[in-house]
Amino acid sequence: MIATQLLVNAAALGAAYALVAVGFVLVLNATTAVNFAHGESVVAGGFAAVALANLLPPDIAVPGLILLPGVLAVSALLGLAIGALAYLPIRNRPPVSVFVTTIAVGIIIANGLNAGFGAAPRSAPSLIGTGGFEFLGATISRQSLAIIATATLLIAGLAGLLQRTQLGRQFRACAQDPEMARALGIRLTRITLMAFALGTAFAGVAGLLLAHQFFVSASDGSVLILKAYIAVVIGGWGSLRGAAAGALLIAVFEVGIAAIASQPVAEGALYIAVLLVLFVRPQGLFGEPQQVRA
Partner 1 sequence: MNLRNHIPAAAVGIVLVVYATAFASSYDQRLLALSGVYVILVLGYQFIFGHAGALSLAQGAFFGAGAYATGILATRWGLGFLATFPLSIAFAALLAALVAAPVLRLRTHYFALATLALAQLLLLVAVNWEGFTGGANGLSGVPPISILGWQAPRGLPLVTAVWVVAGIAILLARQQMNPVRRAAFAVARDTPLAAPAFGIDAGLLRFRAFILSAGFGGAAGALFVHTNRVVSPETLGFGVMVTCLTMTVVGGRSRIAGALIGALLLTHMPEWLRGLESYYLVAMGALLLAMVLFAPDGLASLLPAPKSRSGPAVIPEPAVFAEAFAGPPATLDASGLHKSFGGIRALGDLSLTLASGEIAGVIGPNGAGKTTLANALTGIAPPDAGTVHFAGRAISGLAPHDIARAGLTRTFQTPQLPPALDVQAIVATARNHAGSQSEAPAVVDALAFCGLADMASVPAGTLPHGLRRRVEICRAIVSRPSVLVLDEPAAGLTPEEQAEIGTLCRALSDAGMAILLIDHNVGFLRPIADRLVCMAEGRILADGSPDTVLTDPAVRAAYFGMDA
Residues near partner 1 (CB under 8 A): 34, 85-86, 89-90, 93-97, 99-101, 103-108, 111-112, 114-115, 222-223, 226, 229-230, 233, 237, 264, 267-268, 271-272, 274-275, 278-279, 282, 284, 291-292, 294
User: CB of residue 222 vs partner 1: minimum separation in angstroms?
Assistant: 5
To partner 1, the closest distance from the beta carbon of 219 in angstroms equals 8
The alpha carbon torsion through 220, 48, 121, 205 (nearest 10 deg) reads -50
Nearer to partner 1, 63 or 237 (CB): 237
In this structure, is the dihedral angle defined by the CA atoms of residues 269, 275, 281 and 286, taken in order, positive or negative?
A: positive
Q: 201 or 274, CB closer to partner 1? A: 274
How would you label 259-289 residue by residue, b for 16+ Cβ within 10 Å and e otherwise?
A: beeeeeebbebbeebbeeeeeeeeebbbbee
User: Which one, 67 or 203, has the nearer CB to partner 1?
Assistant: 203
Angstrom distances, CA of residue 188 to CA of 110, 126, 177, 196, 215: 29, 38, 10, 12, 37
- Minimum distance, C-beta of residue 285 to partner 1, in the bound complex (Å): 12
- In the complex with partner 1, which residue's Cβ is closer, 93 or 187? 93
Q: How far is the CB of 64 from partner 1 (least distance, A)?
A: 28
Nearer to partner 1, 104 or 128 (CB): 104
In the complex, the smallest distance separating the C-beta of residue 189 from partner 1, rounded to whole angstroms, is: 17
Q: Is 65 exposed, middle or buried (0-12, 13-18, 19+ CB in 10 A)?
A: middle
Burial of residue 102 (number of CB atoms within 10 Å: 0-12, 13-18, 19+): buried
The minimum distance between CB 85 and partner 1, in angstroms, equals: 7
**Rg of the chain taking only CA atoms, in angstroms:** 19
Which one, 99 or 138, has the nearer CB to partner 1? 99
